[in-house]
Copies of this chain bind each other. A is one copy, B any other.
Amino acid sequence: MQKSELKPILEALIFVADEPLSISQLREVFPEEDAGFVKECAEEVMHEFNQFHRGMEIRAVADGYRITTRPEHHEWVRQYLKVKPSAKLSLAALETLAVIAYKQPVTLAEILEIRGLKSTSAVKTLLDKKLIETRGRKKVVGRPILYGTSKEFLVHFGLKDLAELPTLEEFEELIHDQTS
């Protein structure tokens, strides 16, 4: 298929998909096309789209592409939709989530050790919000459940993948800069 033929279709599919559309999902629609070629086209669609548009944008999140409004228009969108700002996660939930994101897969006991706090109810909240999920059991006594972040986590925080998170070492440098 020609680029000029494929690109509009990709745009249409990113638009109708109800979750970030990944290259592997696109490959299932176009099994004859090379993955590299599909990715190249999708990247071009994204860049051209974002150059042209001021009201919407295509973003690379959770290993896929998704169309959203731009953050700077949030007040107008809220006013039209008549919605209040959504509830944010509590500090306890965010800290627990940070531990899980950086130490995954991780058990409840390990989270307790790092945070110095029992974090069961924060874990429950994060499970309810589908930001984390179970990842089998650890091969130690008691075989405790392991937890890791979900795809929803990437979408919720606008991350392309886990590698996009700053490393813990980068935070360490930040702390050193502050304390010295």
Contacts and interface: CB of A to CB of B under 8 A. Distances in A.
Contact of A73 (B12, B123, B127, B180): B12
Given A25-B83, A29-B83, A124-B175, A9 B166 contact: no
A100 to B, nearest CB: 14
A170 to B, nearest CB: 6
A169 to B, nearest CB: 11
Interface in A25-55: 25, 28-29, 45, 52-55
B179 A120 contact: yes
A180 B121 contact: yes
A102 interface: no
A113 interface: no
Contacts of A10: 55
Q: Is the interface of A mostly helix, strand, loop or mixed?
A: helix
Nearest to A84: B25
Given A70-B8, A136-B159, A77 B124 contact: no
Interface in A52-87: 52-56, 67, 69-70, 73, 76-77, 79-81, 83-85
Given A17-B80, A124-B174, 14 more contacts: A8-B55, A11-B56, A12-B55, A12-B70, A13-B77, A13-B80, A15-B67, A16-B80, A25-B85, A29-B83, A45-B55, A119-B180, A120-B179, A133-B158
